[in-house]
């Protein structure tokens, strides 16, 4: 089975720009979550998508938005980038209703905002 | 809300030493508990999990027991190797089905 793949692996953007990060979920998984991991910190939950709708959100402003597609892949969009948005962005997939099995994470996208 | 507190690092051990990384949690209900590991430059890998009280998760020589009475899920390994050097995260499920992580503990194992 294929794992979770994210693209791009690294990205440099300028403050105020917009960015789109992409994620393909693991085969058989129907839920995608996004996490932000600042340097030296644990990942923080951004939001989660199931059946193409957001069904959970952490403490992140509306300029963080997302999509889930019929094939369960997902995008994370961030508008009006700020320097503090520099972080590793992790995508995780799971099967709704089977949270006890945990989540499969991708290798992440390292975003640097200058 | 649910939260996790894990011991701060870094932790430096010699090869074959015994490892304990403490993790305690605060939660309503009965969350599942996890340990994830992150190797340098990589994403997170699930190391082990436990879904109910007194469950013991184990993998690659690592173990952790879901202790409801002490709200703990400490990670242990009897004999660490250099290849175990990584950052370890304790996590539990939140009310939205998300994961809530601790801040991570960096482990360095010296030969």
3-state SS of A10-72 is EEEECCCCCEEEEEECCCCCCEEEEEEECCCCCCEEEEEEECCEEEEECCCCCCEEEEECCCC
B100 lies within 8 A of chain A by CB? yes
B29 lies within 8 A of chain A by CB? no
Regions of chain B with pLDDT less than 50: none
Q: What is the mean pLDDT of residues A6-32?
A: 95
Most A CBs within 10 Å, among B93, B99, B104, to test the A interface: B99
Q: Are B92 and B33 in contact (CB under 8 A)?
A: yes
Predicted local confidence at residue A27, as pLDDT: 84
Predicted local confidence at residue A1, as pLDDT: 57
Rg (CA), chain A: 13
CB-CB under 8 Å, B42 with A107: yes
A25 lies within 8 A of chain B by CB? no
Residues B16 and B8: their CA atoms lie apart, in Å, by 21
CB-CB under 8 Å, A55 with B34: no
Predicted local confidence at residue A98, as pLDDT: 63
A108 lies within 8 A of chain B by CB? yes
Which of chain B's residues have a Cβ under 8 Å away from the Cβ of A35? 99
Residues A35 and A64: their CA atoms lie apart, in Å, by 11
CA dihedral A90→A94→A97→A100, nearest 10 degrees, is: -80
B36 lies within 8 A of chain A by CB? yes
Work out the pLDDT band at A101, boundaries 50, 70, 90. Answer: low
Q: Are B23 and B102 in contact (CB under 8 A)?
A: yes
Percent of chain A with pLDDT over 90: 79
């Amino acid at each position: 089975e294929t794992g979770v793949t994210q693209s791009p692996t690294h990205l440099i953007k300028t403050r105020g720009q917009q960015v789109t990060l992409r994620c393909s979920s693991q085969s058989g998984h129907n839920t995608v979550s996004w996490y932000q991991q600042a340097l030296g910190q644990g990942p923080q939950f951004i939001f989660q998508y199931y059946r193409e709708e957001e069904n959970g959100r952490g403490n992140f402003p509306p300029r963080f938005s997302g999509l889930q597609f019929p094939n369960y892949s997902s995008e994370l969009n961030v508008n009006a980038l700020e320097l503090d948005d520099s972080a590793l962005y992790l995508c995780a997939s799971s099967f709704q209703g089977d949270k006890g099995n945990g989540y499969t994470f991708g290798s992440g996208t390292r975003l640097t905002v200058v | 809300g649910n939260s996790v507190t894990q011991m701060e690092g870094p932790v430096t051990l010699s090869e074959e030493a015994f490892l304990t990384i403490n993790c305690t949690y605060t939660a309503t209900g009965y969350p599942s508990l996890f340990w994830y590991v992150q190797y340098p430059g990589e994403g997170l890998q699930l190391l082990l999990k436990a879904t109910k009280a007194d469950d013991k998760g184990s993998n690659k020589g690592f173990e952790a027991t879901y202790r409801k009475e002490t709200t703990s899920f400490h990670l242990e390994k009897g004999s660490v190797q250099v290849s175990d050097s990584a950052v370890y995260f304790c996590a539990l499920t939140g009310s939205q089905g998300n994961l809530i992580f601790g801040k991570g503990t960096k482990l360095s194992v010296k030969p």
